[in-house]
Structure 1
Amino acid sequence: MDLLGLIGNFIRVVENGSIAGAARAKGMSPAAVSQSLSRLEAHLGVRLLSRTTRSMTLTESGKRYFEKVRHIPQDIDLASQAAAIETKPQGPLCIATTAAFGRYVIAPLMPAFKALFPDIAIELISTDRNVDHRLEGVDVSIRIEAQLNDQLIARKIASLPFIFCASPAYLERAGTPRTPEELSQHACLVFRYPTDGRFLPWEFIVDGQPVNAKLNPEFISDDIDIIAKIAESGGGIARLASFIAQPLIGAGRLTALFSSGESNIASSPMTIYACVNERSALNAKVRAFIAFLEEAI
């Protein structure tokens, strides 16, 4: 009897809240997961789960057993890491990142990372939705502060500037704002978080204090490339991460605002975090990627 396997299936069922969810996470059929639970209960001589066609709850025995065994898979992983001597990072590495950061920053760096670590097989998930590390097999995710949650261990790796900008044609037509307060008189191109529908706030640091500008949303989109394209075409003022704005400013298609001597006005930066599900996930390949990214950006 593979007792550790049966315990692992039981833990997944409890964590996912259903046999079907555990089956998807384990790549098994629901029937196989259900049978493994029955074998574990028969081995222990107690019922762990009270199951009906519509619900599933832990029995009192199941609650006590879960508290005792829930850390076993992590302990086994830690023991394996302690026993293994890794000469170099290797194996599959699944990275999740926001769409824009993945497109403009991560993707161009991947060939250099691969050249340094040829034995790492990379999968890059580029999306603005919330990803579940455990269910989707993600080793490390790159997130901004608004995307952090208590279930992840986050490490700050960089702060990148936001740049307020507009096309020369728009500024010639509508004038150039000199203070955050003047933005309410301009067409603002606003990014909406796809995950929860919130607007990305336009925050400034004025005389050392954070100030949220009052906006006049002329266009709203959940795609930052669309916002950049509208700004480039003369549609209004955008707040873009530097890695998106700077090439367009360098080409003369956009003009940076609030950067001509207003020393008491600055845009709040974009803070970038590397996130893992638990400390045991900081294996050699994840550590190598985080260190590479810190140095690169």
Structure 2
Amino acid sequence: MDVLGLIGNFIRVVENGSIAAAARTKGLSPAAVSQSLSRLETHLGVRLLSRTTRSMTLTESGKRYFEKVRHIPHDIELASQAAALETRPQGPLCIATTAAFGRYVLAPLMPAFKASYPDIDIELISTDRNVDHRLEGVDVSIRIEAQLNDQLIARKIASLPFIFCAAPAYLERAGTPRKPEELSQHACLVFRYPTDGRFLPWDFIVDGQPVNAKLNPEFISDDIDIIAKIAVNGGGIARLASFIARPLIAKGQLTPLFCPDNSDGDFAHASPMNIYACVNERSALNSKVRAFIAFLEDKI
């Protein structure tokens, strides 16, 4: 009898609040999880859970047992990590990332990461929706600050600038804004988060204080590449991450705004894009994930 497996299922049921929810996290059927609970109760000779069709509660014996065993999966994971410390990181590594960051930053770096860790098999999920680490088998996700939530353990790995920019043709036609408050008089190309429908705010730092600019949204999109293309073709002013804007600026397709040499008065600059590496629990920080995070911190 796999007692550790039965205990693991019991812990998942208690932590998720239902047999069905625990079954989803384990990739099992509710019937299989229910049977494993019955086998554990038979093995122990006590009732751990009081179950009806509508509710589930721990018995007194179940409460005492849960407090004694809840640490076991974590301890086993820590022991496995300790045993693997001297081994080269290997095996599958599933990385989830925002679409733009995956396309412009991660994808070019992946060959170098693979060359450094040839025994790691990489899967890269590029999406702007929220991913569920447990249900989708994600080892680590790369997220911006607005995508963080209390269920994730996040570590800041980089802070990249945003750049306000527009095509030379637009600036010739509409004029060049010198201060953030002038943006309300210009065509603004605004990004909408696909996950919750919010606009990406246009934040500035002026004299060390955050300022949220009032906008005139001329175009709205949940695809930052679409916004960049509209900007390049003279559609208005865009707020782009530096890794998207700088190549377009270097080609002369876009002109940066609010720079020291074209601003009047106090210098204003955009609040940065903070990048975080996220895991669902500390035990997920295995050697593969640690190697990947350290690689990103070194390269970005």
TM-score, with structure 1 as normaliser: 0.93
Query: For the Cα contact (< 8 Å) 2:221–2:227, is it kept in 1?
Result: yes
Residue identity matched to 2:275: I
1:295 pairs with one of 286, 293, 298 = 298
In structure 2, what is the Cα distance between the partners aligned to 1:55 and 1:233? 59
Question: Partner of 1:234 in structure 2?
Answer: 234
In structure 1, what is the Cα distance between the partners aligned to 2:37 and 2:54? 17
Cα deviation for residue 165 of structure 1 reads 0.9
**Does residue 277 in structure 1 map to residue 280 in structure 2?**
yes
Aligned residues: 297
In structure 2, what is the Cα distance between the partners aligned to 1:65 and 1:131? 32
Question: Partner of 2:5 in structure 1?
Answer: 5
Task: Give the match's secondary structure for 1:130.
Answer: coil
Query: For the Cα contact (< 8 Å) 1:159–1:272, is it kept in 2?
Result: yes
Task: Give the match's secondary structure for 1:266.
Answer: strand
Task: Give the match's secondary structure for 1:15.
Answer: helix
What stretches of structure 1 move > 4 A for 4+ residues in a row?
A: none
In structure 2, what is the Cα distance between the partners aligned to 1:22 and 1:281? 18
In structure 1, what is the Cα distance between the partners aligned to 2:59 and 2:127? 39
Distance 1:136 1:62, change over 3 A: farther
Query: For the Cα contact (< 8 Å) 2:186–2:236, is it kept in 1?
Result: yes
Distance 1:212 1:123, change over 3 A: same
The share of aligned pairs that are identical, in percent, is 88
Question: Partner of 2:53 in structure 1?
Answer: 53
Measured on the aligned residues, the alpha-carbon RMSD in Å equals 1.8
In structure 2, what is the Cα distance between the partners aligned to 1:99 and 1:3? 42
Cα deviation for residue 166 of structure 1 reads 1.2
Query: For the Cα contact (< 8 Å) 2:260–2:267, is it kept in 1?
Result: no
Query: For the Cα contact (< 8 Å) 1:160–1:270, is it kept in 2?
Result: yes
TM-score, with structure 2 as normaliser: 0.92
Query: For the Cα contact (< 8 Å) 1:208–1:264, is it kept in 2?
Result: no
Deviates more, 1:11-20 or 1:165-174: 11-20
Alignment gaps of 5+ in structure 1: none
Q: Deviations over 1:47-79 (max 9, x none)?
A: 333333344343444333323322210111111
Query: For the Cα contact (< 8 Å) 1:86–1:284, is it kept in 2?
Result: no
Q: Spell out the pairing of 1:182-197 with structure 2 (5 A cutoff).
A: 182-197=182-197
Deviates more, 1:99-108 or 1:20-29: 20-29
Task: Give the match's secondary structure for 1:258.
Answer: coil
Task: Give the match's secondary structure for 1:204.
Answer: strand
Cα deviation for residue 267 of structure 1 reads 0.9
Distance 1:19 1:282, change over 3 A: same
**Does residue 254 in structure 1 map to residue 257 in structure 2?**
no
Deviates more, 1:130-139 or 1:237-246: 130-139
Cα deviation for residue 260 of structure 1 reads 4.4
